[in-house]
């Protein structure tokens, strides 16, 4: 399919046209590169890419986990076919498979094997536990649940597993015969029991549903975004094209594959390129540079607070090959990071679960404001609109919206949530909920996320989800979660509560630690007599945040002990 062309006007003419025109803008960024165009439209799925790489470079390492567990392209193809054959034999082919896994060797065979069986994969954050884990399992409603062996106790804590028919235990450790009456099979036994030749021979179409990818939930709770095969292929191939990776590159990140960065920018990018990606199951600021050196990495990715932690912990880096590190958002100590560690930091680029419109590049756009995320690609229309979805003029702050010009180039909505889907995709454009503006050259500038979003240690936290969980405690009658500044950039979580007489905040915090993923546990708690509200009963969180945290009424907790 031909990529639409766009002629950029002169700055003066463009500013006048943009101010007077209510239509969305045509992206002025790159079109389709060689990796996107490698396969004809009818074969643009990751399964086609994997089979091609298994033939071209069968013995090259594709993924390496924690520097020891290696998966070649041929092994990945063989194991994914075996997983597909097992799902067919067990009568769950074409169903949904939830993956409660860290970055580990079983992840991709299960992910791609599910797709090869005509099913839908649903990666889940391995930090989930308690009520939130139960809620997200209910939202994606899987027939199969693949879980890291050491996380099996979290399943025992749930009231049930819903409609799950099979649990696949991944990793070392004892495997029970069942959980809540659902049979458990070890991954190693699963892939040896069925031959690769028994897998379905017909691959899914690019338009078929492939993935339920959970959003961060910054605007009303985590939603399961529906990704077709083509979007899974396109986003990772386009990112690889704009970054200019070659088969000689080595990629490395501690970011998890349950999120876009680990899955698309690293694992699937390496699949398209035919290079090796190193993925870590956890992050350590003190050892990160040694891991980079040992991996021989040429490209890496971190979140802003991770980079700040490394600067504090590591006075100098060992000898390394790392030419570029992608850090979001741009760390406050970026210049010092580059000087001290002899590498180049890039940060311009932006995407979200539903769409990846601003692709990262190794060549920075110089002499622009730090909030610049660059142009959208030429196959995407974009704009900034007001509350009535009318296009705003250059420099005016509004909501960022996007509309791809080709089919299946973004998520197609939220699983079993038509109301939220209709709201986000109204008026023939996807509404991000994020604020920004564009300049007279068509470059987009990202200003802030939805006001209920909290960014902490590389994770997006839904204030609504946190509030809903704490309101489940019988002693809590009202709650407001919001972001407060962290020492190293990004945010910490503060939770203000209205509680019944006699409630101890320490006891409530201990309860939250058992209910929440680690990254969501509040650092600060405060008991208040009431929460300030608008006439429409929305909590005025800006008033709460203005009080600060350096007051006797605020209880602070050390979360490092967990």
Q: Which residues of the chain have pLDDT under 50?
A: 1-9, 12, 16-20, 218, 536, 561-562
Both tokens of residue 288?
């990160």
Pairing status of strand 444-448 against strand 430-438: antiparallel
Are residues 410 and 511 located together in one domain of the fold?
no
Short-list 226, 235, 210, CA closest to 115: 210
Q: Kindly report the number of other CB atoms within 10 A of residue 290's CB atom.
A: 14
Do 185 and 118 have their domain in common?
yes
Task: Indicate the pairing of strand 554-556 with strand 524-527.
Answer: antiparallel
pLDDT at 454: 78
Residue 164: the pLDDT is 98
181 in the Ramachandran plot: left (φ > 0), alpha (ψ -120 to 50) or beta?
A: left
Answer whether residue 102 is part of any domain.
Answer: yes
Q: Which two tokens stand for residue 25?
A: 């803008």
Query: Six-digit token pair at 505?
Result: 């905040």
Instruction: Let me know if residue 57 belongs to a domain.
Output: no
**pLDDT at residue 236, rounded to an integer:** 97
Alpha-carbon span 239 to 299, nearest angstrom: 13
Q: Do 496 and 423 fall into the same domain?
A: no
Distance CA 181, CA 166 (A): 10
Is 36 domain-assigned?
no
Q: Which of 228, 262, 294 is the last residue of a domain?
A: 228
402 and 527 housed in the same domain: no
| Cα 97 from Cα 249, distance rounded (Å) | 32
Domain membership flag for residue 461: yes
Both 444 and 473 in one domain: the answer is no
Residues 80 and 128 grouped into a single domain: yes
Q: How far apart are CA 207 and CA 46, in angstroms?
A: 13
| Nearest in space to 96 (alpha carbons), one of 139, 153, 134, 148 | 139
Distance CA 168, CA 220 (A): 31
Same domain, 125 and 161: yes
Of 415, 435, 450, the residue that ends a domain is 450
- On whether both 389 and 406 belong to a single domain, the answer is yes
* 181 part of a folded domain: yes
Q: Alpha-carbon torsion 455, 458, 460, 466, what sign?
A: negative
Note whether 348 and 354 are within 8 A (CB). no
Q: Output the pLDDT for position 535.
A: 55
Q: What is the pLDDT of residue 204?
A: 97
Residue 91 DSSP one-character state: T
Whether 414 and 510 share a structural domain: no
Choosing from 450, 484, 507, the residue where a domain stops is: 450
| Structure token pair of residue 99 | 């993956």
Q: Are 115 and 50 in contact (CB under 8 A)?
A: no
Number of domains in the chain: 3
Q: Whole-angstrom Cα distance, residue 207 to residue 210?
A: 9
494 and 417 part of one domain: no
Closest CA to 171 of 142, 154, 149: 149
CATH code where residue 488 lies: 3.30.300.30
Query: Which pLDDT score is estimated for 533?
Result: 74
Judgement on whether residues 123 and 91 belong to the same structural domain of the protein: yes
CATH number, domain at 137? 3.40.50.980
Q: How far apart, in whole angstroms, are the C-alpha atoms of residue 257 and residue 104? A: 9
Contact (CB, 8 A) for 289 and 310 = yes
For 490, the domain range is 453-561
pLDDT at 446: 87
In a domain, 547, yes or no: yes
First to last CA, the chain: 52
Q: What phi and psi, each to the nearest 5 degrees, are found at residue 63?
A: -125, 135
| Tokens, residue 486 | 């962290």
Residues 415 and 480 in one domain: no
The whole-angstrom separation of Cα 121 and Cα 395 is 40
Q: What is the pLDDT of residue 537?
A: 61
- Structure token pair of residue 459: 């994770």
Q: What is the pTM of this model?
A: 0.84
Among residues 466, 491, 492, 482, the alpha carbon closest in space to that of 531 is found at 482
**Residue 119: φ, ψ to 5°:** -100, -170
Determine the pLDDT at residue 466.
86
């Amino acid at each position: 399919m031909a990529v639409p062309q766009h002629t950029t006007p002169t700055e003066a003419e463009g500013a006048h046209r943009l101010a007077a025109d209510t239509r969305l803008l045509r992206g002025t960024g790159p079109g389709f590169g060689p990796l996107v165009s490698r396969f004809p439209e009818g074969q643009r799925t990751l399964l086609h890419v994997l089979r091609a790489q298994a033939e071209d470079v069968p013995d090259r390492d594709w993924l390496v986990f924690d520097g020891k567990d290696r998966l070649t392209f041929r092994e990945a193809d063989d194991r994914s076919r075996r997983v597909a054959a097992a799902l067919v034999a067990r009568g769950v082919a074409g169903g949904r498979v939830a993956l409660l896994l860290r970055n580990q060797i079983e992840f991709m065979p299960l992910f791609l094997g599910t797709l090869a069986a005509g099913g839908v994969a649903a990666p889940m954050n391995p930090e989930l536990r308690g009520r939130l884990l139960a809620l997200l399992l209910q939202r994606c409603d899987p027939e199969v649940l693949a879980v890291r062996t050491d996380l099996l106790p979290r399943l025992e804590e749930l009231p049930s597993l819903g409609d799950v028919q099979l649990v696949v235990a991944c990793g070392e450790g004892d495997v029970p015969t069942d959980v809540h009456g659902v049979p458990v099979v070890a991954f190693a036994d699963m892939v040896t029991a069925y031959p690769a030749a028994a897998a379905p021979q017909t691959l899914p179409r690019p338009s078929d549903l492939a993935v339920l990818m959970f959003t961060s939930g910054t605007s009303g709770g985590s939603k399961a975004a529906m990704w077709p095969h083509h979007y899974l292929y396109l986003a990772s191939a386009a990112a690889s094209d704009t970054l200019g990776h070659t088969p000689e590159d080595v990629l490395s990140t501690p970011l998890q594959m349950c999120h876009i960065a680990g899955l698309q920018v690293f694992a699937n990018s390496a699949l398209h390129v035919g290079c090796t990606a190193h993925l870590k199951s956890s992050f350590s600021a003190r050892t990160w540079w040694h891991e980079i050196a040992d991996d021989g990495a040429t490209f890496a990715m971190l979140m802003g607070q991770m980079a700040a932690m490394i600067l504090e912990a590591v006075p100098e880096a060992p000898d390394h090959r790392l030419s570029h590190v992608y850090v979001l958002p741009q760390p406050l100590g970026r210049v010092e990071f580059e000087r001290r560690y002899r590498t180049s930091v890039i940060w311009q680029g932006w995407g979200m679960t539903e769409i990846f419109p601003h692709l990262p590049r190794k060549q920075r756009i110089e002499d622009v404001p730090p909030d610049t995320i660059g142009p959208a690609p030429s196959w995407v229309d974009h704009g900034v609109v007001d509350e009535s979805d009318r296009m705003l003029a250059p420099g005016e702050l509004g909501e960022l919206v996007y509309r791809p010009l080709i089919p299946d180039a973004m998520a197609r909505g939220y699983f079993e949530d038509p109301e939220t889907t209709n709201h986000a995709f109204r008026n023939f454009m996807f509404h991000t909920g994020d604020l920004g503006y564009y300049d007279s050259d068509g470059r987009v500038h990202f200003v802030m996320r939805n006001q209920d979003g909290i960014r902490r240690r590389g994770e997006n936290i839904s204030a609504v989800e946190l509030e809903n969980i704490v309101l489940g405690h019988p002693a809590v009658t009202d709650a407001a979660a919001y972001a407060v500044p962290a020492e190293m950039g990004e945010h910490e979580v503060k939770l203000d509560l209205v509680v019944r007489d006699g409630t101890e905040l320490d006891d409530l915090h201990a309860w939250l630690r058992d209910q929440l993923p680690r990254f969501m546990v509040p650092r600060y708690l405060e008991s208040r007599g009431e929460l300030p509200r608008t006439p429409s009963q929305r909590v005025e969180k800006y008033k709460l945040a203005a009080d600060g945290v350096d007051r006797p009424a605020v209880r602070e907790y050390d979360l490092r002990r967990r």
